[in-house]
Structure 1
């Protein structure tokens, strides 16, 4: 295993008062149709019957709450997009949608097993993609209420990890996660290939989140821009293409033959991981702060993007804003690195 796990001890907490940035809740669902009042007959002296008050909005179904949007009060465009977006789909439903839309992308000679943990969505404001990814990951590590994003921003700023929400150091992200989420972290170095590949896949199969820096393309997928489009994503699941599905603990999807899911509450036999030389057999189920939908990314594509983060964006270097970049630059802080997060094991 190629990994580096430096001591990530946070400094003593600062006494600077918290700076609260409001998270505006999404707009309510439109009310149901109103009952129409009957018109009085001609010649009647009775006043028209007023219509009844509008019915209250129906409560959203469990697990389908609309996404949180950070900075919603500042963006009419975000408001309109949110109103049209509808509820956030769960991971399984989103993956099935992707599989139906892009059948040609997934090998028909393999059986597919989906391991996924549901993540909420949060739309970032400004260069806060890393902190938004950490916030989403935190919902799998902390109590259901999670840790407010403004708390992550506050602590990261107080510790000197960021100036505006940007995070150019995986090591700093690990320290921040330990302090705010009280979780275990493991810093991977040397890329997502080689011995680290099986470590990452086994981590995702168990349902734990992974934070990955990469270069973001126009469609949010990984690309190679030498770090000029550096971005963060959180992965909380994996789609594995296998020759055969273990007999214990899996069920085939009723809508998509050839797609299998672990049965909740039943111990399942771990599948044989695809070999590293098998193309198109491993896809990461990922989210990032510019969309509330899941995406499926080819593992090799993510690995290659993560391994070429070397330069600071020229456009950022000349925009007149301050950024916190570690000694050694983007290459020292992000290149070939990722962060594994696990709940802290109780000693009691």
Structure 2
């Protein structure tokens, strides 16, 4: 309340941009509370803002393209995430073989014709010492229902049965028991090495389209080497590249891109190929995959045989790392040396 001597209050200065009314102001009609004056509303036509066009639809998902690799432990490793983003889709086995034949053509004998038997596998990048169980998981996709068996389940079953402490597998026999129980497949333990009478058994198994699990010493490029078992690792082979003097006339077709490379024609009766003799160097290559890369590799059969046959000792660095490992009685020599695992579906006659 102002005193009698207080000068009259001056109206507040108008806000910039708002015109000041001139002359007497007629008070507006009384309106209900919170109802704006119709005189202040814009024309009806200006109330409807232009409706923006709908955003474009996302591109349809790729149909029939290869799926990205399954990566165990991906959520824990930024390095694996970055590598996976750069890697692209998982290559098919035939595409990888053709790439290798082009890049390393001097490695393969030009006096032979080649027949490729292969089966496609998904990829699974291992975390920790789980190469054997990763190889079994990949093989299981050819033996079990399409949904497959989760790796976590394989690991847990192996732990529960005392085959492993943290995913390592130093016993081919235990791997066979796990395969039979988890995948419901046939598992044949091969002893005495991959040479001699076992050689034809292995090759015919692969030509039939069934997987082979092989322990070996892993070199820096994942290929087999000889380190006395210090670098013991597992791989799965699902095919073979055979060099032959003549391709059988029934059931094979030549690759349109690589003359001299032949593929079996699907769903067609074919004549079995003659297997190269054991004394023919560089005539047999195993199509293999392991848990540190999602690419297939071609390994000279004799190189794999020799690596598998010298797995004798437990790695001193592993023995000193403070972790627990399950090693069978008799050590690495008893569990891995000269052994492999032939896997086939339960109803297979192979």
TM tier, smaller: 0.7 to 0.9
Match of 1:15 in 2: none
- Secondary structure of 2:311's partner? coil
Match of 2:131 in 1: 129
1:240 maps to 2:238: no
* Distance in 1 (alpha carbons) for counterparts of 2:235 and 2:125: 12
Q: CA deviation at 1:316?
A: 0.5
Q: CA deviation at 1:53?
A: 3.4
Match of 1:336 in 2: 338
Structure 1 unaligned blocks of 5 or more: 1-45
TM-score of the pair, normalised by structure 1: 0.84
Match of 2:19 in 1: none
* Distance in 1 (alpha carbons) for counterparts of 2:142 and 2:322: 37
- Secondary structure of 2:67's partner? coil
- Secondary structure of 2:314's partner? coil
Match of 2:290 in 1: 288
- Secondary structure of 2:117's partner? strand
| 8 Å contact kept, 1:250–1:262 | yes
Match of 1:60 in 2: 62
Distance 1:165 1:60, change over 3 A: farther
- Secondary structure of 1:240's partner? strand
Deviations 1:169-200 (A, max 9, x none): 00000000000000001001110000000000
Match of 2:120 in 1: 118
Structure 2 unaligned blocks of 5 or more: 1-47
Q: 1:322 aligns with which of 313, 320, 324?
A: 324
Match of 1:264 in 2: 266
* Distance in 2 (alpha carbons) for counterparts of 1:264 and 1:285: 19
* Distance in 2 (alpha carbons) for counterparts of 1:341 and 1:166: 19
Q: CA deviation at 1:60?
A: 3.3
* Distance in 1 (alpha carbons) for counterparts of 2:319 and 2:118: 38
Match of 1:108 in 2: 110
Match of 1:3 in 2: none
Distance 1:257 1:182, change over 3 A: same
* Distance in 1 (alpha carbons) for counterparts of 2:127 and 2:66: 23
Distance 1:190 1:100, change over 3 A: same
Q: CA deviation at 1:74?
A: 0.9
Distance 1:105 1:159, change over 3 A: same
**1:15-54 map, 5 Å:** 52-53=54-55
* Distance in 2 (alpha carbons) for counterparts of 1:130 and 1:47: 64
Q: CA deviation at 1:89?
A: 1.1
- Secondary structure of 1:284's partner? strand
Match of 1:142 in 2: 144
Alignment length, in residue pairs?
Answer: 304
Distance 1:219 1:58, change over 3 A: farther
| 8 Å contact kept, 1:214–1:231 | yes
- Which contiguous aligned blocks of 4+ residues in structure 1 show a shift greater than 6 angstroms? 46-49
**1:115-194 map, 5 Å:** 115-194=117-196
- Secondary structure of 1:84's partner? helix
* Distance in 1 (alpha carbons) for counterparts of 2:104 and 2:284: 15
Considering only CA atoms, is the larger Rg found in Structure 1 or Structure 2? 2
* Distance in 1 (alpha carbons) for counterparts of 2:210 and 2:266: 16
| 8 Å contact kept, 1:63–1:90 | no
- Secondary structure of 1:241's partner? strand
Q: 1:73 aligns with which of 72, 75, 78?
A: 75
